[in-house]
Structure 1
Amino acid sequence: MLRFSVLGALQIRTDAGPADVSGGLQRTLVQTLLVSEGRPVSGESLAEEMWGETVPDNQANALQAHVSRLRRRLRALEPDRPASRVTMHPAGYQLCVEEGELDAAEFVRAVRQAESASARDAARTARLLGESLAMWRGPAFGGTPGGPLCQLAGARYEEYRMRAMELRFDAELRLGHHAAILAELAETHSHHPLRERFCEQLMIALYCSGRQVDALDVFRRMSRHLDDELGIQPSPSLRKVETAILSHDPALIGAPRIPTPLQPV
């Protein structure tokens, strides 16, 4: 069994440890086949990912050579596998990845599970998402996603990462861990200053930790930032948190808002 990781620089692992995939074009080929999630990828799309606007004149032969090289490399890592992982179909090339072998697919599955379970079992949700977020070793594809298919996939995985962080913070707030996550929430908000949900959660954590003045100061700074950067006012949800803090709404403690689940892509 191989394990493929794209939540960070591309990595392939065997039971014996990591296995190298040498060459930028080979790495791009593997990444593109992985993000298709088992669907064939056309030769034209693969060529665009690998070479961009500098596609070689013998594109089909060059691509076939890289695919053959990848087949040999994967075969060497799994000598007992009965069939090649990379197959060719009328629609293009396909990389067989089984359940549990791709970290990004496992991560997305965990986030979707948490979206449906978070309101019922905060402790399980916090634990599940904490473990899942630990799968990230850096930006998807190591911050070099290549062409449009991988760029789109990278943005999608990053959005799931943001949602996982939101859901985990919500679960921790439900569990009453307001003070314990304050520093992490403040750092997360500073790294994503325009994402209002992190601001809401930081305000709630501060208020529930007895720091109402600081919570309201976060709202004022966020309002100025939204106005300066985007020319917009705080959302109704963010204003609602401010109002709840000003009125000492008891619903703030243990009842954070649940975001709308992401729609499958």
Structure 2
Amino acid sequence: MEIKLLGPLTAHEQGVSVVPSAAKPRQILALLALQAEHVVTVPTLMAEIWGERIPRSASTTLQTYILQLRRKIAATPAEPARSAKDVLVTQFGGYLLRVQPGQIDVQEFEQLVADGRSAYDATDYRTASRLLGNALALWQGPALVDVRTGSMLELEVLRLEENRMAALERRIDADLRLGRHAEVVPELRVLTARHPMHERFCAQLMLALHRSGGSWRALEAYQRLRGALVTELGLEPSVSLRQLHHAVLSGDTVMDQQTAGVD
């Protein structure tokens, strides 16, 4: 089964979609896919679907949803000796979705990110940029954008989005270390506009602008972020960002590299 969660939910068995149209079975499929090859307990599934208001009929209703998912899987061209119960497996206390390695985009994303971070730590910035870029390219929109999320899926979506943001920051760091300053400026302008109080993106933009001959624009970027922080939160930028601001003002190339943490 090939499953995509980084955007709209899709799941295909032998090329045929097995995604149900009803909201609750979609939630179950998404949660099982995120925990593929691991048992998701019945209480966890119930909490995802009904929250704290679990009805008396929950156990029977959950079994009905599982049966609906198995019927969708069974309606696809089956592999020899592999039934729907071999894909969506009943285990003691819960259910497990059995998927071949490499068939879920989340798993591919996480592996590429891990490999990219290892390359970055080994100072192989070209490989790090490529791997992290490939990981980010798997995203087709917000995670599970068309799935109603309960408490469990909300946490999973938050985790994925935070990992996506961290991978993006690291990929830009790698590009800056490769001297791609002018190349990343347009992307960073968009990111700082979308995240006006995100200090890391601001620092990266300041450094990219400064190194590509736009020091005054780097100072403008700092002032925009400072204004947003003071207005919205009553806070000044962090010490490291203020140090970078001072480095740009003074033309201290050693300090601006060290402060931004990308050289």
| Counterpart mapping for 1:89-100 below 5 A | 89-100=91-102
Distance 1:78 1:255 in 2: 57
**Structure 1 stretch displaced more, 210-219 or 93-102:** 93-102
Aligned to 1:34: 33
Q: 1:78 to 1:243 in 2, by over 3 A?
A: farther
TM-superposed CA distance for 1:160, in Å, is 0.6
TM-superposed CA distance for 1:187, in Å, is 0.2
Aligned to 1:195: 198
Distance 1:110 1:25 in 2: 31
TM-superposed CA distance for 1:218, in Å, is 0.9
TM-superposed CA distance for 1:54, in Å, is 5.3
Aligned to 1:246: 249
Aligned to 1:79: 78
Distance 2:46 2:237 in 1: 44
TM-superposed CA distance for 1:183, in Å, is 1.0
| Counterpart mapping for 1:231-242 below 5 A | 231-242=234-245
Provide the aligned length of Structure 1 versus Structure 2: 257
Residue 48 of structure 2 aligns with an amino acid whose one-letter code is E
Aligned to 2:62: 63
Gaps of 5+ in 2: none
Structure 1 segments of 4+ aligned residues over 6 angstroms from their partners: none
Aligned-partner SS, 1:12: strand
TM-superposed CA distance for 1:57, in Å, is 3.0
Distance 1:143 1:158 in 2: 15
Pick aligned residue for 1:225 from 228, 232, 239: 228
Q: For the Cα contact (< 8 Å) 1:28–1:146, is it kept in 2?
A: yes
- Root-mean-square deviation (CA, aligned residues, Å) is 2.3
Aligned to 2:107: 105
Pick aligned residue for 2:216 from 213, 216, 227: 213
Q: For the Cα contact (< 8 Å) 2:192–2:201, is it kept in 1?
A: yes
TM-score, normalised relative to structure 2: 0.88
Going by fraction, where is helix more abundant, 1 or 2?
A: 2
**Structure 1 stretch displaced more, 145-154 or 37-46:** 37-46
Distance 1:197 1:250 in 2: 18
Aligned to 2:176: 173
Residue 152 of structure 2 aligns with an amino acid whose one-letter code is L
Q: For the Cα contact (< 8 Å) 1:174–1:256, is it kept in 2?
A: no
Q: For the Cα contact (< 8 Å) 2:6–2:142, is it kept in 1?
A: yes
TM-superposed CA distance for 1:151, in Å, is 0.3
Residue 73 of structure 2 aligns with an amino acid whose one-letter code is L
2:207 matched to 1:204? yes
**Structure 1 stretch displaced more, 100-109 or 51-60:** 51-60
Distance 1:68 1:16 in 2: 21
Aligned to 1:24: 23
Q: Identity over the aligned pairs, expressed in percent?
A: 35
Gaps of 5+ in 1: 259-265
Q: For the Cα contact (< 8 Å) 1:173–1:254, is it kept in 2?
A: no
TM-superposed CA distance for 1:206, in Å, is 0.8
**Structure 1 stretch displaced more, 74-83 or 195-204:** 74-83
Aligned-partner SS, 1:93: strand
TM-superposed CA distance for 1:249, in Å, is 2.9
Aligned to 1:153: 156
Aligned-partner SS, 1:179: helix
Q: For the Cα contact (< 8 Å) 2:13–2:73, is it kept in 1?
A: no
Q: For the Cα contact (< 8 Å) 1:8–1:140, is it kept in 2?
A: yes
Q: What are the Cα deviations for residues 6-44 of structure 1, in whole angstroms up to 9, with x where unaligned?
A: 111111135636554322122111011122343222222
TM-superposed CA distance for 1:256, in Å, is 5.0
Q: 1:87 to 1:195 in 2, by over 3 A?
A: same
2:141 matched to 1:138? yes
